[in-house]
Amino acid sequence: MAATAVAIGTMKVAQVSGPNGDFQVVEREIPKPGRGEVRINVQACGVCHSDSLTKEGLWPGIQYPRIPGHEVVGVIDEVGEGVAEWKKGQRAGVGWHGGQDNTCVSCRRGDFRNCKNLKIPGISYDGGYQQYMVAPVEALVAIPDSLSDVDAAPLLCAGITTYNALRHSGALPGDLVAVQGIGGLGHLGIQFASKFGYKVAAIGRGGENAALAKKLGANVYIDSKATNAAEELQKLSGARVILATAPSSKAMSELIDGLGPNGKLVVIGATFEPIEVAPVQLINGSRTIQGWAAGTAADSEDTLRFAELSGVRPMVETYPLEKAAEAYARMMSGKAEFRVVLTM
Ligand SMILES: [Zn+2]
Ligand SMILES: [Zn+2]
């Protein structure tokens, strides 16, 4: 119980030196939380595809060196001034939503998710690839006792993104919902969709993941390499929602004709290439395409509560913090099964 004894000292961090720079594992002074902030003794941090925004310098204005990581779970070991609602020793996490300004038009409407000055851990400030991290209270997520650090971490970006996108998609129990991609996002999307009571069609390239997709809760598996996935969805009367998780704009474009009447393609797999769609594809059947980004700390708590109730869990591969470079390369290879998590 040396929580206060570590206030002065050094810690290990995995930082990116500059755009496209290598990971460096270095010692840094343990940071002190400021007003309205807490310090988290990090136990686990997920490695997300969006960490490439920091690693490759794709997000404008990043100050380097920068420590990535926005799937952070740990224990609060110091609270800053003015923090009354969080205590030392309490388990807490931080996800993609790392704080809002509370003053922009979106915030004034209560739409914190779309804050104009949204802060993102690992981009706007140092994230979770380190032993101690400072975070503002509005970004904090309470972690239920029944979830392990390693299981909870991926739920704070991959989990909340699939859960929140699906619960706001308009699909109702019994509707056909397709999940494109069986990876870090998709393997959670299939589980949530199944537990929400949808008829779930999992779409993967090749047959390797067919048995796993069924085990995760898919009713139907569609191999988009062997068949025309859009036609297969139409044989099932068309999808109410297609959750597009794999970062391939081409694969997403090919699925639009698989949407049923009023069907919606919900895009969460982040790419920079355009999706191709002809206006008539959208006009026929009043189809829509919508993007979705994560959610607030309260949405994360909903995600964790639902995971706790329903048994939804990520499948993870863990790496020690010192091997952050290897962990990141594994995630980028697309071969991880399915979420890579750093442990401190
Ligand atoms: Zn993420
Ligand atoms: Zn705002």
Predicted confidence at residue 1, as pLDDT, reads 46
* Strand, coil or helix: 202: strand
Q: Torsions phi, psi of 101, nearest 5?
A: -85, -15
pTM of the model: 0.94
Separation of CA 112 and ligand 2 centre (Å): 6
Predicted confidence at residue 265, as pLDDT, reads 98
Angle at the Cα of 193 (from 288 to 235), degrees rounded to 5? 60
Separation of CA 101 and ligand 2 centre (Å): 4
Q: What is the pLDDT of residues 85-111, one digit of tens each?
A: 999 999 999 999 999 999 999 999 999
Q: What is the DSSP string of 150-188?
A: HHHHHIIIIIHHHHHHHHTS---TT-EEEEE--STTHHH
Q: What is the pLDDT of residues 63-80, one digit of tens each?
A: 999 999 999 999 999 999
- The one-character DSSP state at 109 is T
Query: Residue 270: nearest ligand to its CA?
Result: 1
Separation of CA 106 and ligand 1 centre (Å): 22
Query: Residue 105: nearest ligand to its CA?
Result: 2
**Region of residue 89 (phi > 0: left; psi between -120 and 50: alpha; otherwise: beta):** left
Predicted confidence at residue 2, as pLDDT, reads 47
How many whole angstroms separate alpha carbon 259 and alpha carbon 241? 7
Residue type, 132: Y
Separation of CA 278 and ligand 1 centre (Å): 30
Separation of CA 303 and ligand 1 centre (Å): 15
Q: Count Cα neighbours of 116 within 13 Å in the Cβ-side half-sphere.
A: 8
Burial class (CB in 10 A: 0-12, 13-18, 19+), 174: exposed
- The one-character DSSP state at 183 is S
How many whole angstroms separate alpha carbon 105 and alpha carbon 95? 23
Residues of the chain with pLDDT under 70: 1-8
Predicted confidence at residue 8, as pLDDT, reads 66
How many whole angstroms separate alpha carbon 186 and alpha carbon 177? 12
Query: Residue 97: nearest ligand to its CA?
Result: 1
Separation of CA 120 and ligand 2 centre (Å): 13
Partners of 335 in beta bridges: none
